[in-house]
Structure 1
Amino acid sequence: MGSTASSQQAAPESFPKGMSNSEWRTKLNPEQFRILREKGTEMAGTGKYNKHYPKDGVYTCAGCDSPLYKASTKFDSGCGWPAFFDAIPGAIDRHSDISWGMERIEITCKSCGGHLGHVFKGEGFNNPTNERHCVNSVSINFDKDDAKI
């Protein structure tokens, strides 16, 4: 998880559910703004969805309410952040992030451009994609109703 991605991303207003930074500041609380709009990260083990394992439901973007992950794709990775092995098709974008001196894959909401976290591949987790989408709890909300997808 981390800070700024190296690739140029579109202005927030260019996304289907995008807004200017001043509009985001009125919609989001300071911690949500820091993570979703400034690419921050929450402290490991502190997020409300880290140990949240419902059988059904959908995790949505805390910025724009777009569906991102099905509850059935969430797993316990032990990393201290919510982990998913796959996103809802078309829900996220991937960007190269070299901000920590190594290449990582940043994930953002396709609808609003909000920073979600990073994807890590090939860690040996027993899941269908061999990926771990390491997502900030602050970046998501949970809806027990699967009808959003």
Structure 2
Amino acid sequence: MSSYYFAIVGATDNPIYETELIPSSRSSAFMDAHRQRDDHKHLNQFIIHAALDVVEEFQWSTNAMYLKSIDRFNEFFVSCFVTAGNVKFMLLHDQKSEDSIKQFFNEVYELYVKVLMNPFYEKNTTITNSSFDNRIKLISRRFL
């Protein structure tokens, strides 16, 4: 069963948003694995944070916003998408599927731009909107 952890990291390397993306099937084996992932939430955060140094190396050597899989930790891969405002979308995953991850990032980027257009949202602050969270999970079900 694949697992995904998604985080948006602000331009000043502060966490803006994070979520565990749960696949749509809900078998008991999956729920046991989900409980284990709850225990490893801090590990997921650490892996994403450690990959930020690699992102900085990659982002200056390419013009692409989607940096693909940039780092690896044991069986996990870290993929990244960097916006024009230097906000980083980081996805921790255990299966490589570059095309679907790229589509996921593009849809999330469109959603993030809509958040930025909200006059009540202050750039680089935590996104707490439940509608944003629900839409991220909907996008993940479509592409991941």
TM-score of the two chains, using structure 1 as the length reference? 0.28
TM-score of the two chains, using structure 2 as the length reference? 0.29
Query: Which protein is richer in helix relative to its size?
Result: 2
